[in-house]
Amino acid sequence: MHPLITALLAGLGFIVAYHTYGRWLGKSIFQLSAKAVCPSLAMEDGVDYVPTSKGVVFGHHFTSIAGTGPIVGPAIAVMWGWAPALVWVVLGSIFIGAVHDFGALVVSLRHQGQTLGDVAGKVMNQRVRLLFLFILFMALTIVLAIFGLVIASVFKMYPAAIFPCLIQIPLAMCIGFWLHRRGARLLMPSLVSLALMYLTVIYGNVGWLGQLNAFMQGWSLITWVAVLLLYSYVASVMPVWALLQPRDYINSLQLISALGLIVLGLVGAAMFGGAPLNGGTERPPLEWVAPAVQWHPQGAPFIFPFLFITIACGAISGFHCLVSSGTSSKQLKSEPDARFVGYGSMLTEGFLATLVIIACAAGVGLGSEVGGELLVGENAWSARYASWGSAGSLGAKVAAFVDGAANLLRSIGISSTISLALMAVLVASFAGTTLDTACRLQRYVVQELATTLGEKPALATSVNWLRHRHGATLFAIIIAAIVAAAPAPGQVDWSLATSGKGGLILWPLFGATNQLLAGLAFLVITFHLWRRRKPILFLILPALFMLIMPMWAMMLQLFFGTGAGPSWVESGSWVLVGVGLVTIALEVWMLVEAVIMFPKVRGVLERVADTSLEKTSIEPS
């Protein structure tokens, strides 16, 4: 099947799913009602609970959940072939990922906009709540420690992306105050911001701006991590309307329009071929240069279960339940908007992952410079994906997508310089929006943990400062900074040159931990519906799948090793072993609690101070 036909069929499938399966979930299962009073209205505080139009919330939600996950995951998973990667992205997004995100959003809406960790304490029990919150804390610490490194790495590879990304912050603040103070309509700010951001991509590396980019490119990794964590602190404590919402919204405009350009480039490359190479006139054809299926890539682990761990955000990600229940549920002003934001955003991310697969498995064949040599076709792909080790590094994964997507843009006449800068800005901007959202989410988790621990007289005084947003946020970034400041795995000596990569120590845990979190989120959603006598069969298989696959992968990594390397025990990675065992123990504990409770709570409503129409919509069906 031609890459263009593949993209069109995937996009059509997502549209059909939104208007059929998504509609059924909203109407028959969750019973969304326009008459319900959402938490953003009932608990409006001007800081976290802020009623917002669905377009702006969609922008925040989509850019926050996307991050670099739907880019780096599919970019490495094509080693097993583009076909299995594509099947998992499309089917996983429709029947698992979007259901997970949508369900977490609605459940939070029905429980005062609380995070899924807090909701777990209501629909299950308080022990489960604490277990869930500790898992969230570990997962978010890894995100905060690693995403600064991701952004810094992109800036070092593509310095032309630095100024366009940084200028988004003051631009977003101006638009945020404009909209909030004047109550202006979105059209004009949208057009102005989009035009300004594309101008910065085109001219943001010219003259003194190029010199500024080169200067900041020379910053050490730990300097970039410190600056980005400081920004995250500021973004987390400010009202959502002042920075988080407008930055995510204008980012979404740029990023979605960039996806549109990739589709146009795909059409152009399919019809006319790629851009001529070396000043000639011959245009290389767009075709699959990666194998459709490759069961045993050199040095790679077996496809089962690791395909489903490697491709996380592009099909399903536990991190998404944090965004749904942590920030988006506090901003929606109408329940029916939840389908557009929760289900629709995940399908959009699935389409992004589809384009990433095409860029890496077909786009790189239009011309790729590897080791100073310009290669085309299967040679270009093979040079980038010679082995799991060479393709698995962060730089290799990002570069494969950026170069492949830039090749598609070049096919419709966009210069190589602008194409590369635009794709690099896309990657760095996705990572940046995830970073500041993750910091705000970690603040909520720390506050919830501090509130619970503060009920113990012996701990009340020592944890009281963590119940306030400044204290909780400061604690979150200090922990992340300590982790990030460590040298990379295998390096003993600490210096400014070697620090900043400490997040890589725990990064091997993130894939499995993130997917386990999705399985646990399904448990909470299932218990919410089970107590209300709602159908849950559509959740059972996704929940079991997302509990079994990550556990299987983590056990292999812990004790048996993979084709990509020895087990963590064999390699002496005791930090990974310890955190991995704790994570597995917490999951098993939660599952035991769930099995014990499940037959006892059908039709038994939990106590909930509800701000929606829950009391009128939970009658047994």
pLDDT digits (tens, 9 = 90+) for 545-561: 999 999 999 999 888 88
> What are the helix and strand counts (H, E) for the chain?
30, 2
Residue 94 resides in a domain: yes
- Are 216 and 155 in contact by the 8 Å Cβ rule? The answer is yes
Distances (CA, A) of 344 to 10, 80, 108, 219: 14, 28, 17, 38
When pLDDT is cut at 50, 70 and 90, the band that residue 615 belongs to is very low
pLDDT for position 243: 85
Residue 496 resides in a domain: no
pLDDT for position 513: 86
Structural domain harbouring 253 = 3-488+505-617
Any idea how long the chain is?
Answer: 621
With CA atoms as reference, report the closest residue to 527 among 590, 602, 614, 588: 602
Residue 484 resides in a domain: yes
Residue 210 resides in a domain: yes
The enclosing domain of 60 has a CATH number of 1.20.1740.10
Residue 330 is given by DSSP the state: G
Phi then psi for residue 52, to 5 deg, are -140, 150
List the structure tokens of 245. Answer: 């919402």
pLDDT per residue as tens digits for the range 165-222: 999 899 888 888 877 776 666 677 788 888 998 999 999 999 999 999 999 999 988 8
pLDDT per residue as tens digits for the range 489-505: 767 677 777 777 877 77
Range scoring the smallest mean pLDDT among 55-69, 380-394, 456-470? 380-394
Residue 563 resides in a domain: yes
Cross-strand bridge partners of residue 373: 370
Residue 261 resides in a domain: yes
In the chain, % helix, strand, coil (3-state, to 5) comes to: 70, 0, 25
pLDDT for position 91: 97
Residue 499 resides in a domain: no
Residue 494 resides in a domain: no
Burial class (CB in 10 A: 0-12, 13-18, 19+), 121: buried
- Are 75 and 315 in contact by the 8 Å Cβ rule? The answer is no
**Structural domains of the chain, count:** 1
